[in-house]
A and B are shown apart, each in its own frame.
Chain A
């Protein structure tokens, strides 16, 4: 395994090296870096030209310039742009914003895409499947920048206006209820009567939900509160237990329910700790949650110890996330007031000079990330959905899935243990490809939303025919692609023992 990784690393290194050469040379030949100065009519025109030519070493052949750049990079020096500004500080500013965007989009697209893809495969030829397929095709065909501009106009501006007085008009409630009913109906398999019942249930539940949200003006000062956290926690406990162990034995169910109850209690008890935590403390709490839940599963699981530990941990982490979300929502009213009631932002990666506690700064970056991420994940989401659906359909037809059924395993085990893991294998190879696409998308998205991130650095550098910033951008993204490739390879090997052992 280590040899495998090492070999991949060496190959990747040379691949990356070759790629830097290509990008450097192509950028250098992409146009005339002195174009703007040639049209300059000021008296210092010639001095400026000479100065920039000197700085960019325009008299030196491109290959030598590249070697010079390479030499500096090896020593950790990113160099300067054509105006003489050092690139390292510019890059470090740009880096975090873009990384947040790319990572959030990728992780969301992978998880949501795989889940939708699998449900769609398991419900092949259902209304849900057809809808997802059609939506995926739409997403494949949407120009990213167009979507981004639309989101900016309709979601950000209109939504912010609406938040000032968050009453949902009856027509919208009706539409949302109808949508809820359709989703319920499409997800149900069975005869027409069952689907109609599911539709009615969905209609009533979502209608009631949105009416309550509207009447209580929940959106003006949102929050969940301990009772809701407990209710959601218990529901997820049952759900995760049904998935991980089935409901016929008690042990795993008790463990998961206990995890949910403890989580809900913690939302009260942990008040002082959660007032203004740091990310480190949040991480510590997460680890603590996992440890406690594993213990619960071990103690209460009985003969189904493994399944109980899984169910309890998933429930615990989910309940923890709810507590986190609750805190964040409670901070919303204050945050919204502090940004003049425009929480969904359309420009930049953060509000300049914003001061606030942990939750408020969190909301601030969430408000800025919301739209770019939404725009950015559409295409990846469609890709992952289609790919995992196809992969899952293929796997469900394999002989070993038939064998698993012939053993009398419950469908849950057949899908989760036998089909899912095999279905994931081809999806991992997709990940590295997709990341390159997301990075390209980030360039466009940053442009629309006016982020001064890496994408901006790249487009500006390219417009100015300045290899410095372009290469700084590429070093980071190229490395990210290589690292992601690596992770995908390792994941592949982990999932498929045939690779692992050879």
Chain B
């Protein structure tokens, strides 16, 4: 597995965790859950800051109920980087918007979102608001639209501070300048008075990063932070994100569809498909030995230097409609390994190789049996050749 030249391989910061998964897992209330393996979350630990448990999100629409997220669980420890990867519509953004409390009122949210043990879904709106932007901050996909065009950058940064702490405006602006310096915007003092449209895309995303870390948050949720940017700028922004994360000692939930970014940055990765986690584990084992055909398919559809001579192997078909889900494994219509079992029973997340590597596949052992799991996605002509 190689990454393309445009994404620098950063040494992953923080400790490498090893996890011992008992067959019984304690839930937040301390009750023993037997056989709750599909949660695939680690046992509660001292330095755990965020735990999402059995999160489901549904949107009633005129065409039926959209099951956007169907039971997501993960946990995040201090200074950890968790990558969430999946196609658009896989529920990766919706689940993180639920953590931020930014979903529209019509959304039906179930499950638990525990920030340092407190369930955010049960908090008063005021308490929730006091966490938002102060303890959990978010960086959005499109910096062109995420900043308000009619207020200055300095004003928008300062108000993030003033929202949580009463202080003179001057102090807040000084803080904002400090942050612009930190994210590498030159002439920060003057730039405070600029409007967003005077910034380039990369600078706006830097400003967004500055806004996210201005209150020293514990968790930063970055929702496809580089998708809307030029390729040349992407690497700089990611590098800056890691640098800033270390400066404020925050953990990151990094949502992306770019596997290279995950490979370069994340300690652990969560693969989502049709609103469900289908594979979770530490980044290297997941990427080197995928135990879910979907992950294997994703890896096979990436161009890389190693296989530059051969063809790309796209996954055929489209993700299923979230309104009218198929019975069985949602990936089965597109899966080369699918059989009758897959079409009738939806597989649970189950531990595969140990070491916290979980996958939701009836046939993960068939993937384990071959050297290169992407082989199943070879096109006919390729197989013939």
What residues of chain A lie closer than 8 Å to B133, measured between beta carbons?
406-409
Does A303 interact with chain B (Cβ within 8 Å)?
yes
Q: What's the least CB distance linking A327 to chain B, in Å?
A: 40
Q: A407-B133, A408-B134, A498-B197 are in contact. Are A402 and B146 (CB under 8 A)?
A: yes
Does B129 interact with chain A (Cβ within 8 Å)?
yes
User: Which residues from 90 to 148 on chain B have a C-beta closer than 8 Å to any C-beta of chain A?
Assistant: 100, 102, 129-134, 137-138, 140, 142, 145-148
Q: Are B100 and A406 in contact (CB under 8 A)?
A: yes
Question: Which residues of A approach B to under 8 Å, CB–CB?
Answer: 249, 303-304, 306, 398-400, 402-410, 413, 417-418, 421-422, 425, 495-498, 501
What residues of chain B lie closer than 8 Å to A496, measured between beta carbons?
149-150
Q: Are B151 and A417 in contact (CB under 8 A)?
A: yes
Distance between Cα atoms of A400 and B168 in the complex (Å): 24
Q: List 18 A-B contacts (CB under 8 A).
A: A306-B169, A400-B148, A403-B211, A405-B102, A405-B132, A407-B159, A408-B131, A408-B160, A409-B129, A409-B163, A410-B163, A413-B159, A418-B148, A422-B148, A422-B149, A422-B150, A425-B150, A496-B149
Q: Binding site of A, secondary structure by majority: helix, strand, loop or mixed? A: helix
Question: Which residues of B approach A to under 8 Å, CB–CB?
Answer: 100, 102, 129-134, 137-138, 140, 142, 145-151, 159-160, 163-164, 166-169, 195, 197-198, 208, 211
Q: Are B132 and A407 in contact (CB under 8 A)?
A: yes
Q: Are A400 and B147 in contact (CB under 8 A)?
A: yes
Distance between Cα atoms of A249 and B146 in the complex (Å): 29
What residues of chain A lie closer than 8 Å to B145, measured between beta carbons?
398-400
Q: Are A403 and B140 in contact (CB under 8 A)?
A: yes
Q: Are A408 and B140 in contact (CB under 8 A)?
A: no
Q: Are B150 and A406 in contact (CB under 8 A)?
A: no
For A251, the closest partner residue in chain B by CB is B166
Q: Are B129 and A408 in contact (CB under 8 A)?
A: yes
Distance between Cα atoms of A425 and B150 in the complex (Å): 10
What residues of chain A lie closer than 8 Å to B142, measured between beta carbons?
399
Q: Are A406 and B137 in contact (CB under 8 A)?
A: yes
For A398, the closest partner residue in chain B by CB is B145
Distance between Cα atoms of A501 and B211 in the complex (Å): 25
Q: Are B149 and A413 in contact (CB under 8 A)?
A: no
What residues of chain A lie closer than 8 Å to B102, measured between beta carbons?
402, 405-406
**Minimum-distance CB pairs A-B, first 7:** A408-B133, A408-B132, A407-B133, A399-B145, A400-B148, A407-B160, A406-B138
What residues of chain B lie closer than 8 Å to A497, measured between beta carbons?
149-150, 195, 197
Q: What's the least CB distance linking B204 to chain A, in Å?
A: 11
What residues of chain B lie closer than 8 Å to A417, measured between beta carbons?
151, 159
Q: Are B140 and A409 in contact (CB under 8 A)?
A: no
What residues of chain B lie closer than 8 Å to A421, measured between beta carbons?
150
Distance between Cα atoms of A3 and B132 in the complex (Å): 44
Q: Are A402 and B140 in contact (CB under 8 A)?
A: yes
Distance between Cα atoms of A417 and B151 in the complex (Å): 9
What residues of chain B lie closer than 8 Å to A399, measured between beta carbons?
140, 142, 145-146
Q: Are A403 and B163 in contact (CB under 8 A)?
A: no
What residues of chain B lie closer than 8 Å to A501, measured between beta carbons?
195, 198
Distance between Cα atoms of A501 and B142 in the complex (Å): 23
Q: Which of B132, B148, B167, B198 contacts A406 (CB 8 A)?
A: B132
Q: Are A407 and B211 in contact (CB under 8 A)?
A: yes
Q: A497-B197, A498-B195 are in contact. Are A408 and B147 (CB under 8 A)?
A: no
What residues of chain A lie closer than 8 Å to B131, measured between beta carbons?
408
What residues of chain A lie closer than 8 Å to B100, measured between beta carbons?
406
For A249, the closest partner residue in chain B by CB is B166
Q: Are B148 and A408 in contact (CB under 8 A)?
A: no
What residues of chain A lie closer than 8 Å to B198, measured between beta carbons?
501
Distance between Cα atoms of A403 and B223 in the complex (Å): 12
Distance between Cα atoms of A466 and B211 in the complex (Å): 66
Q: Are A413 and B163 in contact (CB under 8 A)?
A: yes
Distance between Cα atoms of A409 and B157 in the complex (Å): 12
Q: A303-B167, A303-B168, A497-B195 are in contact. Are A403 and B132 (CB under 8 A)?
A: no
What residues of chain B lie closer than 8 Å to A306, measured between beta carbons?
169
Distance between Cα atoms of A409 and B163 in the complex (Å): 5
Q: What's the least CB distance linking B177 to chain A, in Å?
A: 18
Distance between Cα atoms of A421 and B151 in the complex (Å): 10
For B106, the closest partner residue in chain A by CB is A125
Q: What's the least CB distance linking A494 to chain B, in Å?
A: 10
What residues of chain A lie closer than 8 Å to B134, measured between beta carbons?
408
Q: What's the least CB distance linking B220 to chain A, in Å?
A: 11
Distance between Cα atoms of A498 and B152 in the complex (Å): 11
Q: What's the least CB distance linking B166 to chain A, in Å?
A: 5
What residues of chain A lie closer than 8 Å to B129, measured between beta carbons?
408-410
What residues of chain B lie closer than 8 Å to A410, measured between beta carbons?
129, 163
In the complex, besides A303-B167, A410-B129, 13 extra interface pairs with C-beta distance below 8 angstroms are: A304-B166, A399-B140, A406-B138, A406-B140, A407-B160, A407-B163, A407-B211, A408-B130, A413-B159, A413-B163, A495-B150, A501-B195, A501-B198
Distance between Cα atoms of A402 and B195 in the complex (Å): 18
Q: What's the least CB distance linking B134 to chain A, in Å?
A: 6
Q: Are A400 and B163 in contact (CB under 8 A)?
A: no
Distance between Cα atoms of A496 and B195 in the complex (Å): 10
Q: Are B146 and A403 in contact (CB under 8 A)?
A: yes
Distance between Cα atoms of A404 and B147 in the complex (Å): 9
Q: What's the least CB distance linking B124 to chain A, in Å?
A: 13
Most buried by A among B129, B130, B131, B164: B129
Q: What's the least CB distance linking B213 to chain A, in Å?
A: 12
Q: What's the least CB distance linking A76 to chain B, in Å?
A: 42
Q: Are A403 and B195 in contact (CB under 8 A)?
A: no
Distance between Cα atoms of A425 and B147 in the complex (Å): 17
Q: Are A408 and B166 in contact (CB under 8 A)?
A: no
